[in-house]
Amino acid sequence: MDATTAPHRIPPEMPQYGEANHIFELMQNMLEQLLIHQPKDPILFMISHLQRDNNNVPKIVILGPPASGKTTIAMWLCKHLNSNLLTVENLIAREFSSLAAGARRHYQNVTKVPSTLLVRLIQERVSEEDCIRRGWILDGIPETREQALMIQTLGITPRHVIVLSSPDTVLIERNLGKRIDPQTGEIYHTTFDWPPEAEIQNRLVVPEGISELETARKLLEYHRNIIGILPAYPKILKVISADQPCMDVFYQALTYAQTSHRSNAPFTPRVLLCGPVGSGKRLQAALLAQKYGLVNVHCGQLLKEAVADKSKVGELIQPYFQKKMAVPDSIIMKVLGQRLSQQDSVQKGWVLHGFPRDLDQAHMLHSLGHQPSRVFFLNVPLDSIIERLTLRRMDPVTGERYHLMYKPPPTVEIQARLLQHPKDTKEQVKLKMDLFYRHSSDLEEFYRQAIAINGDQDPYTVFEYIESGIINPLPRKVP
């Protein structure tokens, strides 16, 4: 929100709608495509672009030295993501393309395709309907910095670039055992990945150019080129060690390919912290409010303030406080709804803790239009909670708070007069823990995109995990 202009009464639903439907990213992507393609009729172009609805299709580049397994990983990603694999071999093998025919003639003469021709082949291929609809994965392309810049100039921009890395000695040893099935194109290895079927074993052939000398020459050329390619993809690049089991490499590559990059969209955090008593919700809320200027909304504190202000709602709450009874959800929602609808909450965002405690309250919060954009569950074992709470003490003379383990009193005299709050007894703590976990599974089911965090560690470490969860986009679920 623009705080420099006069305050606008913006309903909470407006920024929520924009964030939920990725309006900023949609407009940003459309503007990028307009500037790249510069169509004669921008309106028709934008309509066509929106109808395609392909902003989230895979656009992946996989690079790596010879024998790093990049082709295998690229093929597995294609199958898993239902995308199109683009290699030098299948680009020049296309039947109904004059560009491919010219590339084949070059390849037969010098076993290499000129960069200009290869980039034009890529441009032709990615503009076809199946690549527009299902995306593409470039295997081993670009090979040089020149190709990387030429591809970028044409507006072909990958969303994820994966670089496989491994020691040269490992790659040379791995390359010597490589075998190819001429019928399927599948790659096997005499040591690591030998097919069990005798029929496949008998038809495997040794590929050309895998001798130790030839592999060393290719590695030298790769290392010379890769240092120029990597700076072309500074924010979308991930290096993965290929010196580990192939499935581990694949799952790391798949996880990265399914992550969303941080958006430049304006974002108003609406954070909900859930967790049992003593899990550190209040401290984390205070840290978030302090660093990001969020409105710290503690449900219990709101009720106390309403009573202290002697408002009409406070008068309704007062009898429940006097009788030490639970305040009805309808009254809580009235107080909470008013606070979350205030201009500072809408403008700055908020961090809520102490509510909802069960599924009914979560539904009520949702019905008022106050959906959190991030939900965190702070998980702390019972033993740690008991240790945190039952050892808390207060000095009745000074009002100073102590903890017998983490912040012991400085003198024996002070220790002798310390008092324990009745709510900090072991029985009361267990009762509250049981109450929380009775409803926690329902809340976790309701907030399916919630992020679980180990709350049984240093509070500033917990804060870093929460901060990362707020700043970065929510991960897409792996199918």
Q: Write the pLDDT tens digit of every residue in 238-265.
A: 999 999 888 899 999 998 998 877 666 6
* Segment 89-135, tens digit of pLDDT: 888 888 888 888 887 887 777 778 888 989 999 999 998 888 988 99
Reduced to 3 states, what is the DSSP secondary structure of residue 246? helix
Q: What single string gives the DSSP state of each residue in 116-177? A: HHHHHHHHHHHTSHHHHHH-EEEES---SHHHHHHHHHTT---SEEEEEE--HHHHHHHHHT
Confidence of residue 478 (pLDDT cuts 50, 70, 90): very low
Taken in order 141, 142, 143, 147, the sign of the CA dihedral is positive
Question: What backbone phi and psi angles, to 5 degrees, belong to 194?
Answer: -90, 130
Residue 8 has pLDDT above 70, yes or no: no
* CA nearest neighbour of 376 among 277, 255, 467: 467
- In a 13 Å sphere around the CA of 33, the CA atoms on its Cβ side amount to 19
Whole-angstrom distance, CA of residue 352 vs CA of residue 270: 8
Per residue in 324-375, pLDDT tens?
Answer: 888 888 899 999 988 998 888 888 899 999 899 899 999 999 888 888 989 9
Could you give the 3-state DSSP secondary structure of residue 224?
helix
Q: What angle do CA 148, 149, 155 make, to 5 degrees?
A: 95
- Separation of alpha carbons 37 and 34, rounded Å: 5
Query: Rounded mean pLDDT of 461-474?
Result: 86
pLDDT at residue number 1 = 46
Q: How confident is the model at residue 23 (pLDDT cuts 50, 70, 90)?
A: confident
CA distance 452 to 253: 23
Angstrom distance (rounded) from CA 363 to CA 212: 65
Could you tell me which residues are beta bridge partners of residue 272? 352, 375
Report the distance separating Cα 345 and Cα 335, nearest Å.
14
Q: pLDDT per residue over 286-335, tens digit each?
A: 999 999 899 999 988 989 888 888 888 888 888 888 888 888 888 999 99
